[in-house]
Amino acid sequence: MTTDTYVLVHGAWHTGAELEATAQRLRTRGHTVHCPTLAGNRPADDRRTTGLEDAAQSLAAYLDQHELSAVCLVGHSYGGMVISRVADLRPNRIARLVYVNAFVPQPGECLNDLVPPHYTALFDQVAAQSGGAVMLPFPIWREAFINDADLALATSAFERLNPHPYKTFQDPITLSQPMAACPLPKSYVNCRMDTALPQSLGWHPRLSERLGLFRYIECSGSHEVWFTDPDAIASAIEQAGRD
């Protein structure tokens, strides 16, 4: 069996801890798996000042600190913004980029450019009242992000989330080229029940096609499949990441 090194990069409101159930599934298959927490989502981080570049630099520093090479860099949701930037910062450490229902930006875009206006309006309002941090209201989380969970699981998962620095959604990304021109191998995992974005502004193919040549993998589950079916997302990531 081929063994690979995976670095799982969480989305907004999460830390690496929420990906550990999936990481454990991959480890039992012989892979090495890391689940760092990005700058901005650690307890003492300043939610008002931490931006997208800070998050990306923290991931690049993690790869350096652990002397990781030939990694499958897996980004979920907002994590797609971060891994896209790190593909520029540390291309020599990456074997493949894997986007899991993740944002794929063009040079100069921010995450807010890629979501529906009603989300941006909601985040603007919440951040203004919360010192530059945003959280999802539970009803939106329950119905749109973790729609394949019962109420008990949706509630317990929501309690593990942390306020997210809104600046990371507003900062334009710095990229040397469109992701379609990036020479690194790329994969896109699409969870079929994901309704975090409206279907008319879906993750695939609207965002996945920005990768140019890429491997497409489908998976069951919602946007928060990490909580609801770690076995399924572990299998999908393994298919997406294999050589």
Q: Please say whether the beta carbons of 51 and 78 come within 8 A.
A: no
Rounded-to-integer distance, Cα 232 and Cα 225, Å: 8
DSSP codes, 150-204: -HHHHHHHHTT---EETHHHHSPP--SS-GGG--S-EEEEEETT--SS-GGG-ST
- Write out the two tokens for 98: 């894997």
Whole-number pLDDT of residue 91: 98
Rounded-to-integer distance, Cα 128 and Cα 9, Å: 27
What the chain holds in terms of domains, given with CATH numbers, is 5-241 (3.40.50.1820)
Q: Nearest CA to 79 among 64, 54, 46, 101?
A: 101
> Sign (positive/negative) of CA torsion 75, 79, 81, 82?
negative
Q: Nearest CA to 85 among 179, 218, 211, 204?
A: 179
- Write out the two tokens for 124: 């603007």
Residues of the chain with pLDDT > 70, as a percent, come to 100
pLDDT digit string, tens, across residues 117-138: 999 999 999 999 999 999 999 9
Question: Does residue 28 have a pLDDT over 90?
Answer: yes
Rounded-to-integer distance, Cα 58 and Cα 75, Å: 14
Rounded average pLDDT over 165-189: 98
Q: Nearest CA to 75 among 189, 167, 199?
A: 189
Question: Does residue 1 have a pLDDT over 70?
Answer: no
pLDDT digit string, tens, across residues 32-82: 999 999 999 999 999 999 999 999 999 999 999 999 999 999 999 999 999
Whole-number pLDDT of residue 2: 79
- Write out the two tokens for 208: 């996945």
Rounded-to-integer distance, Cα 242 and Cα 79, Å: 20
pLDDT digit string, tens, across residues 73-110: 999 999 999 999 999 999 999 999 999 999 999 999 99
- DSSP percent split of the chain into helix, strand, coil, nearest 5: 45, 15, 40
3-class SS of residue 101 = coil
Residues of the chain with pLDDT > 90, as a percent, come to 98
The β-bridge relationship of strands 164-165 and 133-134 is antiparallel
Question: Does residue 198 have a pLDDT over 80?
Answer: yes
3-class SS of residue 42 = coil
Label residue 154 by pLDDT band (50, 70, 90): very high
- Write out the two tokens for 63: 């790869």
Angle between helical axes of 20-28 and 230-241 (0-180°, round to 10): 60
Whole-number pLDDT of residue 243: 87
Rounded-to-integer distance, Cα 6 and Cα 70, Å: 9
